[in-house]
């Protein structure tokens, strides 16, 4: 794997995404894809933040899952911000 294949993404997921097991859903998917980072609820109550690092292809697949969410969620929009891979995370965590 080339270093250029690695990336970092911050995704803000808006909608009915808190209290519907969205964080557990996102963490499970990220771990299955071999990604590292975290997922947390934002204090306003209308969004979940996901920060993930790993192979770009796997990150793109994670974003596809985030746009759907778990069955009880109602995702309205996902805003992504891509950046360079940092390697600062050792696993994928819920909370921060």
Question: Given 10, 23, 29, 88, which residue is catalytic?
Answer: 23
Question: Given 28, 40, 41, 56, which residue is catalytic?
Answer: 41
Buried b (16+ CB within 10 A) or exposed e, 39-71: bbbeeeeebbbbbbbbbeebbebbbebbeebbe
Architecture of the domain spanning 3-80:
2-Layer Sandwich (3.30)
Task: List the chain domain ranges.
Answer: 3-80
How many whole angstroms separate alpha carbon 51 and alpha carbon 38? 5
Q: What is the pLDDT of residues 21-53, one digit of tens each?
A: 999 999 999 999 999 999 999 998 899 999 999
Q: Is 23 a catalytic residue?
A: yes
Residue 8 has pLDDT above 90, yes or no: yes
Q: Is 41 a catalytic residue?
A: yes
What pLDDT is recorded for position 96? 65
């Amino acid at each position: 794997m080339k270093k250029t294949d690695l990336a970092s993404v911050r995704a803000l997921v808006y909608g009915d995404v808190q209290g519907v097991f969205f964080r557990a859903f996102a963490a499970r998917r990220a771990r299955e894809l071999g990604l590292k980072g975290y997922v947390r609820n934002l204090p306003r109550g209308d969004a979940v933040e996901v920060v993930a690092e790993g192979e770009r292809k796997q990150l793109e697949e994670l974003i596809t899952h985030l746009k759907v969410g778990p069955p009880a969620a109602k995702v309205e929009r996902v805003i992504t911000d891509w950046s360079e891979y940092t390697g600062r995370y050792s696993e994928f965590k819920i909370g921060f």
